[in-house]
Every structure is written in C-alpha cells, then in structure tokens.
Copies of this chain bind each other. A is one copy, B any other.
C-alpha cells in the first residue's frame, strides 16, 4: 500500500450520530485480512423476522459475494450480514465461491439460521484469493458481542480508500408509529454505480414486507447512487442492501406490504433523502478530489436522457481536469453534451456555472466575463446547470474533479 491519501476537503467536521435501532446489532474485528492496525470485519445480527431487499452490480465480472446475495435475496429474509474489507473476493473462481460457503456456514451457525438468511459482501483488491479461514472462526464470538449502538464502528470497518466513514439517519412515521432508518456506506474510487454503489447497508426498524422493501430500494437507487460517479468505473462488488427488522411492530406499526400505499409515503421520502445523503457523501470523498460538482441537466427528452447527458459531463476526464484547474472551460461541457448521443438542440443549449450564465442559445452569452466565472471556479462546490432545449425532463448527478492526487492514489494502490 502507498501512504494514505490526505483527508478529503469535504470530510465532515462531525459525523452523523446514528441512534440504536430495534432489532439489529453490530460488532467489528481486526481480522488482518490485508490491513494492519484497523478493523476489517463487520457482523450485523438481526432479530428473526427481518426482511431484506438489495440492488447489486450489473458487472459481467461480478464478485462471488454478489452472486450469493442475488441468491439469498430470493428468500427476502435476513438474520446476519458479514462484510470484510481488504479483499473483494472477486475474480477468484471456485476458490471465491468456496470462501463464501465457509463464511455462510460459520455465520449461519453463529445465529442458528438457514444459510439463505446470511448476506455477505467483500471489498478491496480484486483477483487475490481470499482466505475465509482468517475470519470465519471469529463470527460466533462477534455475533454474541454485537451491540445496537455501534454504527460508526461498523462504517469504519468497511472502508478502503475512503478518508471518512459515511453515515446517515432519518426518521419517519408509518401509520402513526415512528420508525428510524440508519445507513452507512463506503466507496471512493472505481465508482460509477450501475444499480448500486460499492457497499451500502441500510437498516430500519419498520415492518415492511420484502417485495415492498425491494420496490422502494429500486426506485430510490435510480436517483441517488445511480446518479453519482467518481471515475466512471463500475466496481465488481457494488452491493446495496436494505434490511427491515420489524421491531417497530412492538410499538404498534402494522406490517406494510404495498410500496405505493399512502402510509409508506413519509418513509419513502425519508429513505430517498438518506440514500441521497450517502451518495453525496461518497462523491465528496472521491479519490483525490478538490471540488464537489453538481450537474443539473434540464430541457431533456426524458429523465434517462437527462441523466445520460449529466453522466457524460461527470465522467469526462478533460472537463474534470479543467475543473481541478479552476478553469471555467465550458467548451468542454458543450463537447460532453454532444458526445452523450442523447437529443440536444445545439442552438438552444444554455450553460451556467453557478449563478453565471456562460452560454445561451448555442453561443457564448453576451454577459460572459471570463474573470468573473474564473473567480467562481475557486469555490469548493461547483454547480453546472445545462439546458439542452428539447423537452422538459431533468436529472441531477453528483461527482468530483480529476486531480493529480487521483493519479497518485491509483498509480500505487497495490504496490
């Protein structure tokens, strides 16, 4: 490993404090899978009856844990989640599947559940065989030691090149009963989620049937994690899991089983807000970033077209390097809109950097003043607003700039 990257300039001054939540408890350990002197193993134990939903990477070379989660999710139930950092257990062939099997066996035994109620996720180096023997024997003890009030430790145990843990909490009412949602995630490079980001785990004490939980997760992944990119590179291990322990039933909440029912509206909004918060936290910890960039595309034919245009900008190395250089190079925005392949009317295109309109109706704006816009580019938060002039749909994408530090971090991550 190279020396650790400096903390992101967007590292929060204080971390969100997640309240304990009925029906789930966490424990972490230093298993020494790859890293020394830090935790790299997380166990989350849920009470019987918890439901599960998940969105997993669409990569054609996805990891062994991703394949297992896809299988486990057909049951829609969960008792235990095991996550390790330091090794992604991806592209490890039959050995990878064997490592997952050993983990599942020990985890199921630790809480006395069926293997299908076990979820696993791994993050770290790709292609290195993972020795589950390094940690499988720890699972029994960890399951016993798990405590409800350990979300921050949990979030820290799953970090790789992240410079801070990403945590968020929200609450909502379901039919008059207060429910809580806690979530944490990791990810700082190889981030262009395609159905989910690297690793994200969300827990609620609400009682929600698995199909409804899955519908809510699908809906909100689209506009949160799937609208965020760091480098356009989609991981082999993207996993976003949402668990509902149902502990709120003890407080009078009736099981919700229709994602579209009015009583879930507040929960749905809170869940979306939490996922958006976490997605932005990931973008704000992009490897080597100096600026956080929000790209709003309007006037598009559809939300999907607007998102594709925004991602074309957000993944353009030449535009991202210009932002790092504090250069208001909006010609590169024009290029990125053009290359997206989506409908855009060149002669109605309007582009603004923050409050400054730089281009209107297909040419430089009359009021454009380079020094003024250059001064805006010195901000840490850069907003780029684009109107492509062909429709009424819009989308927002979050990203960061492309800096020397990104190159340094990725030129010697392994060596």
Contacts and interface: CB of A to CB of B under 8 A. Distances in A.
**In which size bucket is the chain A interface?**
35 or more
Nearest to A402: B407
Contacts of A414: 322, 327, 329
Interface stretch (A11-19, A165-173, A343-351, A391-399): A343-351
Contact of A337 (B61, B95, B338): B61
B327 A95 contact: no
Interface stretch (A43-51, A77-85, A120-128, A141-149): A120-128
Contacts of A364: 91-92, 127-129
Contact of A127 (B232, B334, B406): B334
Interface stretch (A27-35, A189-197, A205-213, A245-253): A189-197
Interface in A319-347: 319, 321-322, 324-327, 329-332, 334-344, 346-347
Contacts of A125: 331
Interface string A400-415: 0011101111111111
Contacts of A336: 233
Nearest to A408: B404
Contacts of A321: 406-407, 409-411
Contacts of A404: 404, 407-408
Contacts of A324: 407, 411
A367 to B, nearest CB: 14
A194 B335 CA distance: 12
A233 B335 contact: yes
Nearest to A328: B414
A346 B62 CA distance: 8
A75 interface: no
A115 interface: no
B407 A331 contact: no
B233 A327 contact: no
A90 interface: yes
Interface of A: 57-62, 88, 90-96, 125-129, 189-190, 192, 194, 231-236, 315-319, 321-322, 324-327, 329-332, 334-344, 346-347, 349, 359, 361-364, 374, 402-404, 406-415
- Going nearest first, the 3 A-B pairs with the smallest beta carbon separation are A325-B411, A126-B331, A61-B338
15 contacts: A58-B341, A59-B338, A59-B339, A62-B338, A91-B334, A91-B359, A91-B364, A126-B332, A127-B363, A129-B363, A190-B332, A233-B319, A236-B335, A317-B402, A325-B410
